[in-house]
Chains A and B, each alone.
Chain A
């Protein structure tokens, strides 16, 4: 009995049983995994589901999917490993991994590995690499609101009080009745007192055109995703989304220009949910430019006047400030929003010379901002809701005042 060694027969028996069992349960067909991604466009902080569906054969035992998380991805389960029990079932088995995006931008989900095991793990298909799926994470607009109407409304119908008198809601003055005036506008107390018909005149309500200009030439700071500290570009992109969403909800037309970026965005002014979605996707595509911006570059606007230009910039590049001055000289109402995060350039406790260099640069920056403000460009720091209220109010007052025009 086995070389006269029955003990060897006993010793090898488990392996013989496992070998026979494995070979008998050998898979006859290699299953195919179909991979899908729930949503290809999500907002920061939102999640989508990556799923792989496999129709198991009769002898498939388990299916394993492993996904790597990127810097801006959070997986559920956190380890990114899902094992599905495929034994005793012929129905399709779906493995799901929830992917949460913590930062705006265009990226991908995966790559993932999928392996399928037979009984005892004796036969394995894979692990095969599943191609990454594209995922666009649009910025989650920062909380923003303003009660101040935009200056220079020049459209057709909107909620901003224009400088033109006509049919509207905002009271302008009481004036004598003219042919064509609506009877419900007659101001009876004044009419009775003066003996002649008077009407309450109003300003027309119109929409305005807002052009958001985003400076992507610098990205200062360290980003911790949607729940942590932002960089200057994070602040700029999220503020741009917030301003666009705010004005579009009021019925105004919003356009977008980016400069000093890898791919310049030029989105013409429009309104509506579809346009907001386009604008947010353009913002998600913004990448920090490396070439910088030359002073002589023309402002990429195509705005004839009458609208509001909101420039979002950390103002570390003199060329960006020069752009703002150039726009003002074109009779445009320009507002510069400072997106440099708080605390940038503070003592880091590591390199005193770097801290000193930052202090010098910030002092230079202050001087540059002062000179730009002297040119008539208001500069306001981005601090969320109400950030630009006062500046918009001032701009509205200034719009009604006489001014010197360079010819």
Chain B
């Protein structure tokens, strides 16, 4: 991979994903984003592109979620899926960029793996969006079984997360003691 391509493309992806998410938000909101709002979100995205290894990506996501929660109608449209995909791309690109200093010219195998991960997450998001849309449009009585299944899955995931997060990490100095 060319030494110039990786830093330039990863920064372009971060800014493009942020801009895409802002455009979707502007279209989905009850009232379009003000110029100040666009500048605010764009600036946050640009800072995250310049310093991906900092915490600059988090304020963008928090502000975006809050603005969406307050200003967007609760209907499940294609815009929600697009926004979710943009945010997933934004997050993945920042995580990939913070892997090594941005002077690193990149590696084809590692870039391919991150693209594959993003594709898996995007596919999962699309499936959830489709399920949610189906459930949202079905009569209230027919939602019991899917809700029960979703509840079981959530509990299972919660248990999995809890057990995984409390698992100990062997320090190198623990060996042989």
**Which residues of A does B touch, CB under 8 Å?**
1, 4-15, 17-21, 23-24, 26-32, 62, 64, 66, 77, 79, 81, 83, 85, 87, 117, 119-121
Would you call B109 and A85 a contact (CB within 8 A)?
A: yes
Would you call A13 and B169 a contact (CB within 8 A)?
A: no
Asked whether A13 and B100 contact (CB < 8 A) given A30-B172, A62-B110, A83-B110, the answer is no
12 more contacts with CB within 8 A, not counting A14-B85, A18-B91, A28-B167, are A1-B135, A5-B69, A10-B81, A11-B83, A13-B129, A14-B91, A15-B88, A17-B120, A23-B164, A62-B99, A62-B110, A79-B105
Give the distance to chain B from A170, nearest Cβ to Cβ, in Å: 63
- Interfacial chain A residues near B160, Cβ < 8 Å: 20, 23-24
Would you call B167 and A26 a contact (CB within 8 A)?
A: yes
- Interfacial chain B residues near A32, Cβ < 8 Å: 172
**Which residues of B does A touch, CB under 8 Å?**
3, 65, 68-69, 72, 74-77, 80-81, 83-85, 87-88, 91-92, 95-96, 98-101, 103-105, 107, 109-110, 113, 117, 120-122, 124-125, 128-129, 132-133, 135-136, 157, 160-161, 164-165, 167-172
Would you call B121 and A17 a contact (CB within 8 A)?
A: yes
Would you call B170 and A7 a contact (CB within 8 A)?
A: no
Q: What are the 8 closest A-B residue pairs judged by CB atoms, nearest first?
A: A14-B88, A7-B80, A29-B170, A81-B104, A6-B132, A79-B103, A32-B172, A5-B74
Would you call B132 and A23 a contact (CB within 8 A)?
A: no
Give the distance to chain B from A271, nearest Cβ to Cβ, in Å: 49
Kindly state the separation between the CA atoms of A12 and B128 in the bound complex, as whole angstroms: 10
Would you call A29 and B169 a contact (CB within 8 A)?
A: yes
* Centre residue among A6, A24, A28 by max chain B CB count within 10 A: A6
Give the distance to chain B from A31, nearest Cβ to Cβ, in Å: 7
> Given A9, A31, A62, A85, which contacts B172 in the complex, CB threshold below 8 Å?
A31
- Interfacial chain A residues near B69, Cβ < 8 Å: 5, 8
- Interfacial chain B residues near A12, Cβ < 8 Å: 65
Listed by A's residue number, 15 A-B pairs whose Cβ atoms lie within 8 Å are A6-B133, A7-B68, A10-B81, A10-B84, A12-B65, A14-B87, A14-B91, A14-B125, A17-B125, A23-B165, A26-B164, A30-B169, A62-B110, A85-B109, A119-B117
Minimum CB distance partner of A25 in chain B: B164
Would you call B136 and A1 a contact (CB within 8 A)?
A: yes
Give the distance to chain A from B135, nearest Cβ to Cβ, in Å: 7
Kindly state the separation between the CA atoms of A85 and B83 in the bound complex, as whole angstroms: 31
